[in-house]
Amino acid sequence: MTSTTTSVSPTTVGLRYGLITGLVITAVSFLQLALISDPETPLRWLSGVVLGVGIVLAHKRFKQLNGGFMSYGEGLGIGAVLAAVAGLLSSFFSFLYLKFVDPDYMNRVMELTRSRLEDRGMEGAQVDQAIASIAKYSTGPISIVFGALGALLLGFFLTLAISAFTKHTRPEFE
């Protein structure tokens, strides 16, 4: 029995779709950073939706190239690689945007956050401590690491659920 399908590695599909998904998330992030002044908008979850769609499409492509089969573990591997690549790409873009294109963006966000915390009844010292903590991890090159780790974590949790539905295990006695 001959088969016309070729076996492909989960890493290859994860890398390719990670780059594609990362570019789409980068475009979405650019539009959000450039056009929306309030970071608390519900549109902030759009990148997570794009990540989920990217994982589903990567799983679909892997199954196309692998005779229609994908194990749960392969699905997890694809999703983890995809999320890591997309997270690094979009975090690097955000760092560059906030560092060179609109360096005052984080100051505006910090002032908006300060006023919201004060409206909730937080004391001045608590507000200052919260703002300092946010500034420490959201500016500078460390923001790339935390952005990538956040994307990897979100992508892994999404992949846990998505892989349960998209897997199609090869029959054991074939």
29-63 tens-digit pLDDT: 999 988 887 778 888 899 999 999 999 999 999 99
DSSP state of 102: -
Does 90 have pLDDT greater than 80?
Answer: yes
CB of 106 within 8 A of CB of 98?
yes
Is residue 23 classed as helix, strand or coil in its secondary structure? helix
CB of 29 within 8 A of CB of 73?
no
113-135 tens-digit pLDDT: 888 888 888 888 888 898 888 88
pTM of the predicted structure, to 2 decimals: 0.88
pLDDT at 2: 46
Tokens of 10: 């989960």
The per-residue b/e assignment along 15-47, b for 16 or more CB within 10 angstroms, e otherwise, is bbbbebbbebbbebbeebbeeeeeeeeeeeeeb
